[in-house]
A = this chain, B = another copy of it.
Amino acid sequence: MSIQKIARLAGVSVATVSRVLNNSESVKEKNRERVLKAIAESNYQPNLLARQLRTARSSMILVLVSNIANPFCAEVVKGIEEEAEKNGFRILLCNTGSDMARSRSALNLLSGKIVDGIITMDASSRLPELATLIGNAPWVQCAEYADDGDVSCVGINDVGAAQCVIDRLLARGCQRIALINHDLSYKYARSREEGYHSGLKAHQCEYAFVKYASDLSFSAGKAAMQALLRHTERPDAVFAVSDTLAAGAVLAIHEAGLKMPQDIAVVGFDGTELAEMVTPPLTTVYQPSKEIGRKAVGLLLNKIDNPEAPAERIMMDWQYISRASA
């Protein structure tokens, strides 16, 4: 079923059909009705491929996420969706699992003109390779940043937030604070580790112990905590760079028969609902996840409308939320 058939059915030209489809310009009421009738009768649906090919516009944006199951990511995506919808854009989600081949394949949607722009939440250091694929296409990084400034991004001051966590833990008397971090190919992971170390140094604290979780999952957090517990100098506090990881740490601590926060204080990151779901509820750093998503869309749409605009960096506020775990 094509626009041709509708034109024939309605007894008008394809141009007229196209005009009523795009309710553009003035079409004589009579003709409009005949076209609408023909469309309804034949259950016609316009072919988006043809339309997009012709107009070179899709009003779709691609969102590349390393793991949708992560509650923080899911929240950011919700913000992205809301803002995109408000502006007449649709989003396409691709869960890369941080897999290079999958990311590359997803990017074909961009280079193949299926989408108008892209928002990534994946590791910056994996992106240089992707950057060439992306080329000059509209792109913004969300909750993650490239080292150089030529791509727009939105996030928080990770160094400062991590430092604050360390300050608070030291203030409550903790002396051996361990860090459960994510893969350092993420810029945010490097920044939080930097904040961790500078926070300790500011208080002349000697003890430092970093354990890297194999991924951003509950089980990886648990495994990391178990490793920390086997350490000869057992930590009396642990800072995990994600609530999911912290939730895993909480279980490991429970299973070891230790009490929180008396034996070990725990602090998470992100401020997701998950932090309230575990026992004890988690002290955490709240990120305005939805707002981060919305801002990312804003930056992207700017770039789509105005390809020559320079890259922008937006830093959002974060907040330390104190609960029973620390």
* Residues of A near any B CB (own CB < 8 A): 43, 45-53, 68-69, 71, 74-75, 77-78, 81, 85, 90-95, 97, 102, 105-106, 108-109, 111-114, 132, 135, 217-219, 247-248, 251, 254, 273-274, 276-279
Contacts and interface: CB of A to CB of B under 8 A. Distances in A.
Given A48-B108, A218-B276, A251-B277, A93 B114 contact: no
Given A47-B113, A92-B94, A277-B277, 17 more contacts: A43-B132, A45-B111, A46-B112, A47-B53, A48-B112, A49-B53, A68-B77, A69-B74, A69-B75, A85-B102, A90-B105, A93-B93, A218-B273, A247-B277, A248-B277, A254-B279, A274-B277
Contacts of A47: 53, 112-113
Nearest to A254: B279
Contacts of A105: 90
Contacts of A91: 94
A interface secondary structure, majority: helix
A234 to B, nearest CB: 22
Nearest to A108: B48
A114 B48 CA distance: 7
A105 B276 CA distance: 34
Contacts of A135: 43
10 closest A-B pairs by beta carbon, nearest first, are: A48-B112, A45-B111, A93-B93, A69-B74, A279-B279, A49-B53, A92-B92, A247-B277, A68-B68, A218-B273
Given A102-B85, A277-B247, A109 B48 contact: yes
Contact of A95 (B49, B81, B109): B81
Contacts of A85: 102
B276 A278 contact: no
A132 B276 CA distance: 42
Contacts of A45: 108, 111-112
Contacts of A276: 218, 251
A50 B53 contact: yes
Contact of A68 (B50, B93, B94): B93
A92 B93 contact: yes
Contact of A78 (B74, B75, B77, B95): B95
Contacts of A97: 81
A77 B95 contact: yes
Contacts of A69: 71, 74-75, 78
A127 to B, nearest CB: 17
Contacts of A50: 53
B95 A95 contact: no
Contacts of A49: 49, 52-53, 112-114
